Structure 1
Amino acid sequence: MAPSWLTRHRAVRTGLASSRVRFERRAAAVRQRPARLIVAAVGLGVVLAVVAWLVFFSSVLALREVRVDGVDDADKAAVLAAVTVAPGTPLARVDLGSVESAVQKVAFVREVRITRSWPDTLTATVTPRVALVALRNTDGTFSLVDEQAASFRIVPEIPAGVIPVNREGSAPATAGLRAVLQVLRVMPAEQRGQVTDITVSGADLVRFTLAGVQVVWGGPSDPEKKLRVLTILMGTKPTSIDVSAPDTPVTR
């Protein structure tokens, strides 16, 4: 049996050896850590580079289709023609603002929003102009005009619900057209539905028929006051009302 001092000596040597092994392992791990970080960084860089290539340069996520929402099939062709982005262009590189500006120039487009629909589609969501009046042209056609006074389409016949506007003499000035639109904007929907036969003269004089009563509206000034006076006088069942000077209206 070995003396106790020898046993203790061996235990101390064994403990020192074990501590040295653990220290060397930790030191090796510390030395390897920068290398692992470099490998991880390189790997991440490769992944990002591949993703960037796929998104910005490859044909995997390239434009293949343009979809148009908000208008009927007859108008989709005009919107598609305004989108001049070449098929095969990476979707991420399409300038959405430029496409929106191009589509906005289409006459019947009031607003448009262009979005990416991954993986390969541009979507144009269009808010079309809505005709409020139809200006009668000398050739018998009609120019549709919306509430912003934008003329956006020529048609052979007046669509249902659109009020015809007749030109008297020379073509109506911008102020005359705006006066017509002011008349319609200030009117409640029910009253507006009773308006027919609007006429605009070269002197910006607006006349129309309201529920069978001939109304002389005048120019674009004081539309709210004119409407209040007109509404009151309609209750007297006249055949004609002149509110062109709303402070001194005339009825017959």
Structure 2
Amino acid sequence: MSRGRLRARLGGLRRRTVLLWCAAVLALAGGMVFLFYYSAAFTVQDVQSEGAGDEVAARAVELAQIPHGRPLARVSEARVSERVLEDRRIAGVEVERDWPSAVRLVVQEREPAVALLGEGATWLADASGVVFDEVEEVEDDLPVIALRGDPTGLDRETVTGLVDLWQLRPDDEELEGELGAPQVDGDGSIEMEVGVVTLLWGPPVENEKKWNVVTALMGQETIDPQGGLEMTIDVRLPDAPVVTGLPEGTG
């Protein structure tokens, strides 16, 4: 056999070998796709939830809506997470495949930072301002803010501002009276009362500066929350506070 024919035969053999390897790889890939995505070998037989209390854990499994018998590889983590997060008590969730036949939901519950009491109901809110759960009882160490309105109608920015406002409030001795329940209007502006003195607060921003202004004004002899003369302290612009209702001859 000539050298040219030998090279041609070897070249053809190499091409057939490559083609056979390619066919084998494609067959293997196809088999793997079928095995994991379409066969009954690795399907969901159990959905578990951990990291949360019993009620929230059970609700997470219910919201996940992962049917038994679905191939594990076809479980969409993004869609499952989106459904589980419909429960506002849940701050986050990780969807993990537990081969060969289970899905694990690792749930992170929201931590309450404040309780909001209004219109006969008590709601918990977290530090990010999400109002997430109505409760019958409040833990002893959780601050409670009484509102003249529905807590669920508040936006997140207002809730976080309220938490800050309430945490910074002076004690009753500094205010010379007991601070009443904040009233939050639809635009997020706040009004409170100390005895006969009404505080026009505006939105819950610059809270520390506003409290400093209020306590300074309350220390004046002409302003008496326990007196008989109704007054208003407007600190919506804390750098230019306005007091109305002062006795005649003062100002």
Whether the aligned pair in 2 keeps the contact of 1:218 and 1:243 (CA below 8 Å) is: yes
1:205 to 2:185 alignment: no
**CA–CA distance in structure 1, aligned partners of residues 146 and 134 of structure 2:** 15
Q: CA deviation at 1:208?
A: 8.4
Q: CA deviation at 1:156?
A: 1.3
1:152 to 2:135 alignment: no
Q: Which moved more, 1:102-111 or 1:62-71?
A: 62-71
Structure 2 residues without counterparts, runs of 5 or longer: 173-177, 226-231, 244-251
**CA–CA distance in structure 1, aligned partners of residues 7 and 211 of structure 2:** 95
For residues 64-213 of structure 1, the aligned pairs below 5 Å read 64-139=45-120, 141-168=121-148, 171=150, 174=153, 179=158, 181-185=160-164, 191=168, 199-201=181-183, 203=185, 204-207=189-192
Q: CA deviation at 1:36?
A: 2.1
* Normalised TM-score (structure 2): 0.67
Instruction: Give the corresponding residue for 2:21.
Output: 40
User: Which amino acid in structure 2 is aligned with residue 219 of structure 1?
Assistant: G
User: Which amino acid in structure 2 is aligned with residue 205 of structure 1?
Assistant: I
Residues 43/194 of structure 1: CA separation in 2 closer, same or farther (3 Å cut): farther
Whether the aligned pair in 2 keeps the contact of 1:179 and 1:219 (CA below 8 Å) is: no
Q: Which moved more, 1:77-86 or 1:119-128?
A: 119-128
User: Which amino acid in structure 2 is aligned with residue 150 of structure 1?
Assistant: V
Q: Which moved more, 1:116-125 or 1:74-83?
A: 116-125
**CA–CA distance in structure 1, aligned partners of residues 47 and 193 of structure 2:** 45
- CA deviation string 1:121-166 (max 9, x = no partner): 3333333222232232555x52212345433212111123322122
Structure 1 residues without counterparts, runs of 5 or longer: 1-19
For residue 241 of structure 2, the aligned residue among 226, 241, 248 is 248
User: Which amino acid in structure 1 is aligned with residue 108 of structure 2?
Assistant: T
Q: Secondary structure at the match of 2:20?
A: helix
Residues 108/216 of structure 1: CA separation in 2 closer, same or farther (3 Å cut): same
**CA–CA distance in structure 2, aligned partners of residues 142 and 99 of structure 1:** 30
- CA deviation string 1:29-77 (max 9, x = no partner): 3332333223222222221111111111122222233333432233100
Q: CA deviation at 1:86?
A: 0.8
Residues 56/237 of structure 1: CA separation in 2 closer, same or farther (3 Å cut): same
**CA–CA distance in structure 2, aligned partners of residues 193 and 81 of structure 1:** 45
**CA–CA distance in structure 1, aligned partners of residues 193 and 110 of structure 2:** 24
**CA–CA distance in structure 1, aligned partners of residues 209 and 33 of structure 2:** 64
- CA deviation string 1:179-223 (max 9, x = no partner): 453142478x7x4898997613365534489xxxx99462316x2
Please identify the structure whose Cα radius of gyration is greater. 1
Whether the aligned pair in 1 keeps the contact of 2:213 and 2:235 (CA below 8 Å) is: no
Q: CA deviation at 1:78?
A: 0.7
User: How many equivalent residue pairs?
Assistant: 221
Residues 194/172 of structure 1: CA separation in 2 closer, same or farther (3 Å cut): same
Whether the aligned pair in 2 keeps the contact of 1:164 and 1:198 (CA below 8 Å) is: no
1:59 to 2:40 alignment: yes
Q: Which moved more, 1:240-249 or 1:96-105?
A: 240-249
Aligned CA RMSD, in angstroms, stands at 4.0
Instruction: Give the corresponding residue for 1:9.
Output: none
Residues 249/178 of structure 1: CA separation in 2 closer, same or farther (3 Å cut): farther
Task: From the two aligned structures, give the one with the greater helix fraction.
Answer: 1
